[in-house]
Amino acid sequence: MARREDVTARLAELEDERDQMVLEPLRWTLRAIDHDRPYKAVVLAQVPSALPIWRAMSNVLSSEGYSVACGTLRTEEYGVPQTRRRAVLIARHHGTAALPKTTHQAFNRKGSTAPGDSALPPCITMGEVLSRPEPFTMISSYGVGGDPKARGRRTSTQPAATVTGKISRCRVVAEDDTALDRLTVAEAGQLQSFPKDYPWTGHDKWQQIGNATPPLLASHILAAALNLAGQPTQPTTASSPSR
């Protein structure tokens, strides 16, 4: 990570604009400090590969007086009916930063409980949030192990695999492999923990859903960052997406 005075220069050197965007929040934070208006809290969430960047940022933020916590969170451990991982950084200018406590068990294909979380309820399944009349299996549009014929399969008694902008391509079948209706936009949103009646608008709603941070996960992260009393509860409705 660049020294504090070199951050702006290093940003200009990055060829990929997406890399610059990942580091932009650090520049904003340092600018706020320079103007004697430091942010009370800084929250960053990205794909797991961003974790080394978050750890490097932690060193800079710590040197500026922030308490910082970072790590990889699993969405199903926070009540989201989907397995998705996100690298998260929480920094607090006053008080001690900490990642949010898990509320549900991690997903385990073998059905066993991971050590240390036996007191937590099982993760939320697709069948619990989607109003479908019969058990089903969702077949991913992606191949497993590089083999396009080996599609990932999740039953309605399990959380969904990671929801992406291509989730509309996933097949849904009955127990006898008979084809069922594919997911609607509303159902895809529910797997991200949006309410069924969330008013999706604009172009490419599928991509909007796939790009969103699950709002239930976001509420847990923000509650931890702002040191709010209590934990968010599993909602029947959810808040707007964060990105």
Digitized pLDDT (tens) for each residue of the chain, 243 residues in all: 444 555 555 555 555 556 667 888 998 999 999 999 999 999 999 999 889 889 989 999 999 999 999 999 999 999 999 999 999 999 999 999 999 999 999 998 775 445 555 789 999 999 999 999 999 999 987 666 556 666 789 999 999 999 999 999 999 999 999 999 999 999 999 999 999 999 999 989 999 999 999 999 999 999 999 988 655 544 433 333 333
Contact yes or no for 29/23 (Cβ under 8 A): no
Residue 172 lies in a domain: yes
Pairing of strands 137-144, 67-74: unpaired
SS3 60: helix
Contacts of 146 (CB under 8 A, 6+ apart): none
Is the pTM higher than 0.85?
no
> Do the domain assignments include residue 185?
yes
Inside any domain, residue 114 = no
The range of the structural domain enclosing residue 180 comes to: 126-215
Number of structural domains (the chain) is 1
Is residue 201 a part of any domain in this protein? yes
Find the angle CA(193)-CA(98)-CA(100) to the nearest 5 degrees. Answer: 20
83 falls within a domain = no
Count how many Cα atoms sit within 13 Å of the Cα of residue 84 in the half-sphere of its side chain.
28
Distances (CA, A) of 51 to 30, 148, 175, 214: 20, 29, 39, 18
Classify residue 209: in a domain, yes or no. Answer: yes
Q: Is residue 60 part of a domain?
A: no
Q: What is the pLDDT, as a whole number, of residue 3?
A: 46
The DSSP string of 39-51 is -SEEEEEE-GGGH
H or E element at residue 172: strand 171-173
Asked if the structure places residue 55 within a domain, the reply is no
- What is the pLDDT at residue 155? 95
